[in-house]
Structure 1
Amino acid sequence: MGTKEQLKEERDNIIKGLEETYRRLVEFKKRKNSPMIVIREGKIVAVDPYEILPTTLYKR
């Protein structure tokens, strides 16, 4: 396996990990009924966890 293939595989694994972490975070916030703190248009805002999408996709 060449360097490019290794880097692509590593990148894909990192992205899968980020997606799984996001899913678990949203799930946790819903269980605890705790707002998600995010940045929107440069401002910090609290968002109801039930308004957040349960999954997200990163560019691959």
Structure 2
Amino acid sequence: METKEQLKEERDKIVKGLEEAYRKLVEFKKAKNSPLVVMKNGEIVEIDPNDVQPTLSYKRSQG
């Protein structure tokens, strides 16, 4: 069975990969001048890639 430290390291790697994928997606959408398509409040909406943050950091809540 994995220890808590091993699980934390694995989670951190996954989060870092997701943050990098987000950064690359925004960069690609800006280069192609293509909207980001997301679901917001149960509706599908298009967002201008210039209106979003180029990076996003995951903050884990305590608890």
User: If the length of structure 1 is used for normalisation, what is the TM-score?
Assistant: 0.91
Larger relative helix fraction: 1
For the residues of structure 2 that align with 1:42 and 1:52, how far apart are their CA atoms?
A: 19
User: Could you give the per-residue CA deviations for residues 13-52 of structure 1, whole angstroms, max 9, x where no partner exists?
Assistant: 0000000000000000000000000111110001111011
Residues matched between the structures, number: 59
Counterpart for residue 55 of structure 2: 55
Q: Which of the pair has the greater relative contact order for Cα pairs under 8 Å at 6+ separation?
A: 1
The structure 1 segments of at least 4 consecutive aligned residues displaced by more than 4 Å after TM superposition are none
User: If the length of structure 2 is used for normalisation, what is the TM-score?
Assistant: 0.87
Give the superposition deviation at 1:59: 2.6
What is the CA RMSD across the aligned residues, in angstroms?
Answer: 1.1
Q: Which runs of 5+ in 2 are unaligned?
A: none
Q: Which runs of 5+ in 1 are unaligned?
A: none
